[in-house]
Structure 1
Amino acid sequence: MAKVAFLGLGVMGYPMAGHLKAKGHEVTVYNRTTAKAEKWAAQHGGAFAETPREAAEGCDFVMSCVGNDDDLRSVIFGENGALAGMKAGAVLVDHTTASAQVAREIAAAAADKGLGFVDAPVSGGQAGAENGQLAIMCGGTEDAFDKAKPVMDAYAKATIRFGEAGAGQLTKMVNQICIAGIVQGISEGLHFATAAGLDAKQVAALVAQGAGGSWQLSNRAETMVDGKFDFGFAVDWMRKDLGISLDTARQIGVSLPVAALVDQFYADVQQLGGGRWDTSSLIQRLRVLKGEKI
């Protein structure tokens, strides 16, 4: 069992830290809103700290899961950042969906201090975090990954290293690019089914058993038909992720026409007031275009 710090207790980090404690690790948490860290400590029996540096002191592993590149830098760097408190030989594992650039930046800073680093964004959403069934995409040295994997296994169903620092973030971009196209396709299919007079839920249940099946279709079709989106991965965060993917694509000279188009469709959903709706809310845009009330 290891001494672990967990930085960031959002909808993903809160249950992930809980799984670490449940597996017997000694866990100290940090959150920008201290009240949430206090709540976690009271619920799970761990400890909380006032700063990332305090949380990281003496730990074998420091896990982070925050919002974006700037949030990540704020908890890692500076006199109160995690790197300032970590002991030599410890490993920093970042679960934030961020840029490959910031991953490489942190990896270099960690190496200068004799620390390991793994960029390890996750897929599986809030349900995956709560059930300990996340897919984790990793980048970093083999040594750092091998040390961190048994700890990450507390909340993972699959964990793979894809290369050096930044490779995990690049793989997560692939994940988000694929999801964008799939959700738009499902939205169009379900909207077509309803307009054609079919029972869209029944259609989805059958299509999910064939070549058109996907996790999104199996897990989101019913709520899409019902117009329920007050859960899951928010449109605001998906646009952040697609922005990172599109920026990276431009840097490496790759065209992502479908992802770029769907990103703009998500902008339309934001304009409808759906920034905090689940990503499956793309179907609402189609309903508005048809003149339906939502």
Structure 2
Amino acid sequence: MPSTNPKTYEPTPSRQVAFLGLGVMGFPMAGHLALAGHGVTVYNRNPEKRAAWCQEFGGAAAASPREAVAGADFVFCCVGNDDDLRSVVLGEQGALAGMKPGAIFVDHTTASADVARELSAEAARRKIQFVDAPVSGGQAGAQNGMLTVMCGGDAAAFEAAKPVAMCFSRAFTLMGGSGAGQLTKMVNQIAIAGLVQGLSEAISFGQKAGLDMGQVLDVIGKGAAQSWQMDNRGKTMVADQFEFGFAVDWMRKDLGLVLDEAKRNGARLPVTALVDQFYADVQALGGSRWDTSSLIRRLK
């Protein structure tokens, strides 16, 4: 979190919440909940990360998900993938074993629609509501409390969670029933994959043509070619800078979810499948942790 917090919080009643997962996204997201005045208990499998969060934001830490969620009205989660999500939700020490009836679990992990439906059904059996709520906006969005959140689940649970989740969000929108949030995030990643490849080819072409690409981006960024990727990644791509942002490994995980879902629903995604393989090339170049804009490295 930046030393000067830019977020202005809407006044909401203080609630008891838990946050599971303190990675590059979860750490600042949980921080915004604490800064907004909610009582926060955190869990992360790395105890040093739990201690670092408490040192920065106060609150409490727990040694298991079950312990973290005890008494919580809302449980937020942001972990790596389907298996990580199951590991903190299910089992004797999982969140569902410790949550009180009527509590709401809001999952910000980018995961499959199948696991969202699976966990929603299991939660319902325990009289707990489950909202799948993947986010867009990256690390900067999490730090600034300006994430876009796409939700699937029960409308009443969504409405109850929204005022609390707006502590770290710019938009928190219900997209449909269970799994709809994850499916919307897949649409988001499909769009981004094609945009970044197109931007990579455009910049590479312009460089080989001898153009001043900083000036070119300033000009075309005022017209129909403008995009978030161009505004926020164009000039760093020109400068060959990629040590930041949304990692290639994470994008390949997300595109794997997309392609698996496409096999089930029959969608044809030729460009997405191709860009996924281009990201595999970037991984082979040593760019697993580079920002997704590093696609341009393939064209050097």
Which TM class, normalised by the smaller chain length? over 0.9
Q: What does residue range 92-111 of structure 1 map to in structure 2 within 5 Å?
A: 92-111=105-124
Give matches, 1:243-258, under 5 Å. Answer: 243-258=256-271
Q: Does 1:219 align with 2:232?
A: yes
Q: Equivalent residue for 1:260? A: 273
Of 48, 60, 75, the residue aligned with 2:73 is 60
Q: Which residue of 2 aligns with 1:291?
A: none
State how far apart, in whole Å, the 1-side matches of 2:81 and 2:74 are: 21
In 2, distance between residues paired with 1:223 and 1:185? 15
In structure 2, distance between residues paired with 1:39 and 1:209: 43
| Counterpart residue number, 2:3 | none
Q: Residues of 2 paired with 1:276 and 1:63: CA distance?
A: 26
Counterpart secondary structure, 1:87: coil
CA distance in 1, matches of 2:110, 2:34: 23
Between the two proteins, the alignment pairs up a number of residues equal to 287
Alignment gaps of 5+ in structure 1: 288-294
Supply the distance in 2 between the matched residues of 1:286 and 1:78 (Cα, whole angstroms).
47
SS at structure 2 position matched to 1:276 = coil
Q: Secondary structure at the match of 2:176?
A: coil
Does 2:41 correspond to 1:47? no
Q: 1:113: which partner in 2?
A: 126
Q: Does 1:7 align with 2:42?
A: no
Structure 2 SS opposite 1:4: strand
User: What is the aligned partner in structure 2 of residue 292 from structure 1?
Assistant: none
Q: Find the aligned partners of 1:15 and 1:205 in 2 and give their Cα distance.
A: 32
TM-score under structure 2 length normalisation:
0.95
- Residue 19 of structure 1: aligned partner: 32
Q: SS state of the match for residue 6, structure 1? A: strand
SS in 2 for 1:159: strand
Q: What secondary structure does 1:29 align onto?
A: strand
Which deviations, in whole Å up to 9, do the C-alpha atoms of 1:196-252 show, x marking residues without a partner? 000111111211111000000000011111111111000000000000001101100
**1:178-213 deviation per Cα after TM superposition (whole angstroms, max 9, x unaligned):** 000000000000011110000111111211111000
Alignment partner for residue 207 of structure 1, among 209, 220, 224?
220
1:150 and 2:141 correspond: no
For structure 2, the 5+ residue unaligned runs are 1-13
| In structure 2, distance between residues paired with 1:182 and 1:82 | 38
Pairing partner for 2:82 from 66, 69, 78: 69
TM-score (normalizing by structure 1) = 0.97
Distance 1:208 1:25 in 2: 41
User: Which of 192, 206, 216 lines up with 1:193 in the alignment?
Assistant: 206
Q: Percent identity?
A: 64
